[in-house]
Structure 1
């Protein structure tokens, strides 16, 4: 089963943890000095915040899946739609090891689809994540632009 994922960069983690804990009526499932995550069932969402620099606001959106089979099926669905992707097998980011891929919507919003393999002790154990064209990236979002959807003319019937 898929779970919607949202990651927001916040200027002050403690204030945001208080706000979102009140908003969701639940304490974070994971709480670190620079990161918090709520694994909510209603609505079914993985909502994460971090205070590790970067511009405040939505960092990326995505889907967390429960199996490699679901990850493969969603990847094939995206590729079949002529959308460019960036694979990151065995990524170590946000206190978790995951197999994932990234894409980007036409407005430039990064989308992450991933299957979590287990917990790790650091926010980003990968010192040099694999990215498009071999560039290094910050944890949790590609630092380089992924080509957006291949432009196609779609007519109205």
Structure 2
């Protein structure tokens, strides 16, 4: 099985480890003075492209939950760490209806934790 890889440069490793440990719900597998790595089996990857973003490059990263309980657990961890920046319920985006928790890592990289509940005919709801 293939595994998606994302490498993010960070300003403060300890603070970033704390954030990602909260987001993923587990400690890193490898920690060095200048490096940390998580080898996650869950989540799998959902990769999308569009021409609706700001500048070319990474717009945001995300964790897609399979069910209500998974999304609630992610939201609870982020909320307990005071890391949630926006909560969206039954919102339309990217041709899907979803429930979402948005957060930002210590560098300002946006993370979307979400559960899709159905398709939508438009990219955004009017």
Partner of 2:97: 97
Q: Are 1:113 and 2:113 an aligned pair?
A: yes
**CA–CA distance in structure 2, aligned partners of residues 63 and 99 of structure 1:** 12
Higher strand share: 1
TM-superposed CA distance for 1:52, in Å, is 2.3
TM-superposed CA distance for 1:45, in Å, is 0.9
CA separation of 1:53 and 1:69: change in aligned 2, threshold 3 A: closer
Q: Which structure 2 residue ranges, 5 or more long, are not aligned?
A: 7-42
CA RMSD between the two structures = 2.0
Larger radius of gyration: 1
User: Deviation string for 1:65-97 (max 9, x for gaps)?
Assistant: 011111111111111223233100011000000
Q: Which has the higher contact order (CA 8 A, sep 6+)?
A: 2
Q: Normalising to structure 1: TM-score of the pair?
A: 0.51
**CA–CA distance in structure 2, aligned partners of residues 50 and 82 of structure 1:** 30
**CA–CA distance in structure 1, aligned partners of residues 52 and 117 of structure 2:** 23
Q: Normalising to structure 2: TM-score of the pair?
A: 0.62
